[in-house]
Amino acid sequence: MQVWALDPQRMELSFGRALFGSRYAADPKECADLLDEAVSVMQERADRFAGLQRSHTPTPADPFVLVLVDEVAFLTAYQSDKQLRQRITAALATLTTQGRAVGESAEVNPGLRISRPHHMEWRSS
């Protein structure tokens, strides 16, 4: 399994940077680039699996890819750069609707303001 992380607040997931390696992004443009890369991996797998298999079995060559997105609201609803917002929204929509069959999933933290943040749980998109 590979875990990729998008952490625009640079608080929650930064503790795991050593685990994520080059698959960690904090700057909104870097987040968009990493999401685009995840979509590219997903589409390349879909091309290879088409007509051969309908579900993914993780292997060292094709591990399950989990994309963690903290503060998705900052990257989408509150993102002032319209082009970045569109790229991020499109990539998340593609991953969440097409990723599972080829071994990719996105887990998002909505980034909504709540009074007791320790009660916020990761939610599947």
Look at residue 86 and tell me if it is in a domain. Answer: yes
pLDDT of residue 26: 94
Look at residue 120 and tell me if it is in a domain. Answer: no
The segments of the chain whose pLDDT lies below 70 read 111-125
Look at residue 122 and tell me if it is in a domain. Answer: no
Look at residue 72 and tell me if it is in a domain. Answer: yes
Which residues pair with residue 107 across a beta bridge? Answer: 68, 124
pLDDT of residue 111: 60
Enumerate residues 6+ apart whose C-beta is below 8 A from 25. 5, 6, 7, 31, 33, 34
* Count: domains in the chain: 1
pLDDT, tens only, 37-50:
999 999 999 999 99
Look at residue 79 and tell me if it is in a domain. Answer: yes
Look at residue 75 and tell me if it is in a domain. Answer: yes
Look at residue 117 and tell me if it is in a domain. Answer: no
Q: Are 107 and 125 in contact (CB under 8 A)?
A: yes
| Domain membership of residue 36 as a residue range | 2-112
Look at residue 26 and tell me if it is in a domain. Answer: yes
CATH assignment of the domain containing 22: 3.40.50.300
pLDDT of residue 14: 87
Please give the Cα distance from 110 to 75 (Å, whole number).
10
pLDDT of residue 118: 44
